[in-house]
Chains A and B, each alone.
Chain A
Amino acid sequence: MTDTAHKGSIQLSEESRVLPSGEREFMMDVSTADLEVNMGPQHPATHGVMRVLIRTDGELVTGAQPHLGYLHRCAEKIGESVEWLQYLPYTDRYDYLSAMNNNLGYSLAVEALMSVEIPRRATMLRTICAELNRIASHLIAFGTYGLDIGAFTPFFYAFREREWIQSLFEKICGARLTYSYIRIGGVFNDAPPGWLKEIAHFCDVFEEKWKEYYTLLIENHIFVQRTANVGVVPREMAFDFGLTGPMLRGSGVDFDLRRDLPYMIYGEIWDAGAFRIPVARGEKGTLGDCWDRTWVRVVEMMESLGIVRWCLDAIEDGPVIGEIPKVIKVPAGEAYVGIENPRGELGHYVVSDGGKVATRCRVRGPSFTNLAVLEDLLPGTLLADSIAIIGSIDIVVGETDR
């Protein structure tokens, strides 16, 4: 046998002795060499199809190498082959948990090349939908995170409210997951009668329900024990790896694109004091641990609620889409637009040569960049903690692979 063939296995050695009972006892020789384990591609904690090649020394992880591409669907290549508006449904499908935000990011990028005025009501509806979608996305993030590390109940609580948000979206655009609601130039449909009242009702109920998540999971002693001081991302590491969104704020960096490089009407909403930016302080352990990141997501849900309420107060009647031709021709040029997606900065870099089809349609997904930190984060941790760490990064594999 070669040396590698029995790495980490238990072998019978030649030596044996006869016990007083007459049985022969073989000497067990446990090899303590490193063992390589494939976590995935079909592992529940990877939330999709992703494989992490983990090298373990007993319970200790000594190396990790993520392998992506199982869900690669050539989104960027498709962007160069179909018309501007035809690409919109594809944006739904990279980060399928926050499709509204993807629609928004793409629309804003194309609008940056065009001179089109977006009606104010459309901007309001966009903001309401994007923020509701952020709540829905964070509900999944914290619900499935609990599931990953053994807390089953919060998942059902989270899905109860998410279901409601999905029904609200279904009423406004007919779809529950892949909306294609936010279009280039505005939104494609006005809110049905009574929809805004339903949103207001949802906000009131959600505010009460939110407290349950906090006591169920965030302050739960077992959860704190599993996540505090685990997977610590210091500030410098977060900068070096280009982390954005809750990952960055979880490392104590006070930065949010909605406030600091405002797009749409977020500057106005911030000035009105309708939302705050939760920044982790290392309350339960070290600054930048898994608990901090989850805390940021859960608190952010309430801040999104504040934005939705502000919009409900300020929304006025009017048109919901600007003057957009059936076949969109985009003037030659290039633009990069980054927006605050639930997972971080979602960037679209679009290049047009003046035609009906994009020359380049780059998607900079936050999950992809945030996941790169895994190679550095996992070595030195316990195998059981690797699940907690992967879950806390909150990736959507549709977006890492695009």
Chain B
Amino acid sequence: MDFQAIHDHLRARGAPGLIAADEPRAPNKKEKDPGRSGHSFVTVEPGKWIEFLTLCRDDPRLGFELLIDVTATDPKADDPNLWVNAELLSVSHKHRLSIKTLVPKERPVIASATAVYRAAQWHERECAEMFGITFEGHPDPRNMLLPDDWVGHPMRKDYEFPKEYHGISCE
């Protein structure tokens, strides 16, 4: 199925938490719209994250067996939200789906998808340390790539680079 068909099917199934489809559009000078390039994705409510992913996995026509990626994006230093992005792939139906949800920077908490896809485990650990997002119910919330005593979340746009680490100057 192409993106449109996947989106229609999600609507027809009453997918929990589905907000909208975000598709690329051409720039429009009259309405001062700079346009958007790239690929289509669906936006989802953060509170229904798990229910949405479970439907994507279990619905026979969607059949997303693989969770390819879970990551986050900090769009701007003064943006109040962080994006959490997920990428699904169906081996049997040969299609993809990109999903995005917004979590507030003030309280960046979202449920862990580990119970739905085990693949989420490492991606969420990396995401947690880099962006400071708490994945509720994660079975092993240790740091993935950073040392255990690392201060701050490096992928945040307002991250301040450390001046030294254990007596080693970083300047």
Contacts and interface: CB of A to CB of B under 8 A. Distances in A.
A105 B39 CA distance: 15
B94 A333 contact: no
Contacts of A335: 37-39
Most buried by A among B34, B35, B71, B121: B71
B36 A69 contact: no
User: 4 closest Cβ contacts across the A-B interface?
Assistant: A242-B119, A333-B37, A335-B38, A333-B38
Interface of A: 68-69, 72, 74, 76-77, 80, 112-115, 239-244, 248, 253, 255, 260-261, 330-338, 345, 347, 349-354, 359-360, 362, 364, 368-369, 371-372, 376, 401-402
Contacts of A76: 130, 155
B69 interface: yes
Nearest to A365: B69
A52 B85 CA distance: 29
Specify which of B27, B67, B85, B119 lies most central, judged by the most chain A CB atoms within 10 Å of its CB: B119
Contacts of B65: 239
B1 interface: no
Interface string B26-53: 0100000011111101000000000000
Contacts of B123: 369
B91 A255 contact: yes
Nearest to B73: A360
B145 A68 contact: yes
Given A335-B37, A369-B119, A362 B75 contact: no
A253 B96 contact: no
B66 interface: yes
Contact of B71 (A72, A243, A349, A353): A349
18 contacts: A68-B144, A76-B130, A76-B155, A112-B37, A113-B38, A240-B117, A241-B119, A242-B67, A244-B66, A331-B37, A334-B36, A334-B39, A335-B37, A335-B39, A338-B89, A347-B68, A349-B71, A369-B122
Most B Cβ at <10 Å: residue of A112, A334, A347, A372: A334
B154 interface: yes
B154 A372 contact: no
Interface of B: 24, 27, 34-39, 41, 65-69, 71, 73-76, 85, 87, 89, 91, 94-96, 98, 117-119, 121-123, 130, 143-147, 154-155
A258 to B, nearest CB: 12
B69 A349 contact: yes
A69 B122 CA distance: 12
A349 B85 contact: yes
Given A261-B94, A359-B75, A364 B119 contact: no
Nearest to B75: A359
B87 A364 contact: yes
A253 B94 CA distance: 12
A217 B71 CA distance: 39
A72 B65 CA distance: 29
Contacts of B130: 76
A261 B87 CA distance: 14
A45 to B, nearest CB: 20
A260 B92 CA distance: 10
B68 A372 contact: no
Given A352-B37, A364-B71, 12 more contacts: A76-B130, A76-B155, A239-B91, A242-B119, A248-B91, A331-B27, A331-B35, A335-B37, A335-B38, A350-B38, A351-B75, A362-B71
A253 B36 CA distance: 36
Nearest to B74: A360
Contact of A401 (B75, B96, B145): B145
A4 B118 CA distance: 32
Contacts of A113: 37-38
Contact of A69 (B66, B67, B147): B147
B69 A364 contact: yes
A106 to B, nearest CB: 14
Nearest to A400: B145
Contacts of B67: 242
Contacts of A112: 37-39
A74 B75 contact: no
A349 B87 contact: yes
Given A241-B119, A253-B91, A255-B91, A364 B68 contact: yes
A338 B89 CA distance: 10
B73 A359 contact: yes
- With most chain A CB atoms within 10 A of its CB, the pick from B37, B76, B95, B155 is B37
Nearest to A334: B38
B142 to A, nearest CB: 9
A260 B75 CA distance: 32
B94 A260 contact: yes
Contact of A368 (B66, B75, B95, B122): B122
